[in-house]
Every structure is written in C-alpha cells, then in structure tokens.
Structure 1
Amino acid sequence: MSSDNHDERSETALDISEDAFAALVEEVLAQLPESMLENIDNVAIFVAEEPEDGSDLLGLYEGVDLTERDDYGFGDLPDQITLFRLPLLRMCADVDELRREIQVTIVHEVAHHFGIDDDQLHELGWA
C-alpha cells in the first residue's frame, strides 16, 4: 500500500463504525490492569480518523510526562492520547486483531505518559 496514494490509504480491511470503534476502545480500557490505570494522571483519550500529517501513525501522546512534571496540578489542561481509527483499521484483518492493536497502542501511549521512551518500549516489546 502506497502511503502517498490517498485512495488506497482510505481503504480499510475492516468496516467498523466510529461508534463501534469507540466501544472497542472503552472495552480495552476497562481491561487494562488497575495498577496501570491508577497511575494515569489527568489524561484524556480521544479517537480521530487520521493523523493531520497523513502518516500511518496509530496513536499519539501529547503532554508533559509524569517524570517531567514540577508545578503541574489544578487547572492544567489534561494530557491527550489520540488513537487514529483509520490507520488501525487498515492494519487489522479482523476485530480480534483490532482489539489487540488498540491495546498495544494505548499501552504504548500510556508508557509515554509515564516517561518511557521509544527505545525502552522496544526493549519491553511494546513498540
């Protein structure tokens, strides 16, 4: 699949509605370990169709990771994790694979929130 051909990039292996995708995200979040969830601080999770740059990025963490926070607190806007629906749909052949990729992507982006960089994620098998 060519990354510069928009028509090919628009095709997905799965036909999952935005609502069904959001429900899968909620399902995955509910199954994450409590020890992970209790340490997430002031993070909002969103779903967008595509990254603005047109890449095949699956997820994006935007914010100040926990290791870099000094005077962070009341009144600060939440950090954001964005999952990109169409790139995830393009890479998955079935709903079970999609559920796994959503989980991997969420864990990957939450790890960035915890201050874990991509090199460490590769070592841990989450990149």
Structure 2
Amino acid sequence: MAGVPIEMDPVRFDRLVDAALDEIPDELARLVRNVVVLVEESPPPGEPADLLGLYEGVALTERDSTVLGGLPDRIFIFRGPLLDLCSSEEELVEEVRITVVHEVAHHFGIDDERLHELGYG
C-alpha cells in the first residue's frame, strides 16, 4: 500500500474524518455515548510512530455505574501516519474510513483480533 505519501491540508483531512463518521449506520451511531473524535498530527510519545488511530476510554461492554458522568472517551485519528501510508486520495479516504470504524468498534468492545477477522485490521 505504501508509496509516495500524499499531502492534504488539515481542514480537508478533517472533512474526510467527518465523512467516515457519517458513514456509521444510524442504529450504531445512536449507541455511541460520551465520545469525542479528535484529529492529531501524530501519536503521543510512547506510541508507535505509525499508529493510525487510538481509542482511550471504557468500552460499552465494560461499563458500570462508576463510569457515568465521567470525562468523554476519546478517539484519536492521526493525520501524519495516515498521509504517510497512502499514495492517493482514494486510498486515504479508505484508510481513514477503516481507522474510524476500527476505533469506534473499540468503543463497542470489539478487540483487534475480531476486527482483523472482520477485515478491519
């Protein structure tokens, strides 16, 4: 997949993330609770430099009454690694979509192994 990285301004990239979120079926989107999606240029220190996305929070399958009223879960989409991975805008659109679905799935308690089985790995 990797080729010559593409360039894209942050506003256009944010629109790709928004479009990927809009593609989540309404019946699932309604179940997403207390989650914010953030675009960052790169992963935080201590994480792999090529990390595409990250879910920080408590999956719905693991929540109990102690989680209510807390800070929102966070989904990070990392612009730099996604741009580095892709060599065309079409490829970037698909990788952003896969990354968004992957991280939202973690919110629902779906682990990496199951995501790989479903073709999102």
Q: TM-score, normalised on structure 1? A: 0.85
| 1:115-126 matches, cutoff 5 A | 115-126=109-120
Distance 1:39 1:92 in 2: 31
The one of 7, 20, 26 aligned to 1:28: 20
Question: What displacement does 1:55 show?
Answer: 1.6
Partner in structure 1 of residue 84 of structure 2: 90
Structure 1 segments of 4+ aligned residues over 3 angstroms from their partners? none
Secondary structure of 2:18's aligned partner: helix
Partner in structure 2 of residue 57 of structure 1: 51
Question: What displacement does 1:14 show?
Answer: 1.2
Distance 1:85 1:19 in 2: 11
Partner in structure 1 of residue 62 of structure 2: 68
Give the letter aligned to residue 122 of structure 1. Answer: H
Q: Choose between structure 1 and 2 for higher RCO, CA contacts under 8 A separated by at least 6 residues.
A: 2
Identity %: 49
Q: TM-score, normalised on structure 2? A: 0.89
The one of 101, 104, 114 aligned to 2:108: 114
Distance 1:126 1:81 in 2: 16
Cα RMSD for the two superposed structures: 1.3
Give the letter aligned to residue 82 of structure 2. Answer: L
Any unmatched runs of 5+ in structure 2? none
Question: What displacement does 1:93 show?
Answer: 1.2
Question: What displacement does 1:36 show?
Answer: 2.0
Any unmatched runs of 5+ in structure 1? 1-11
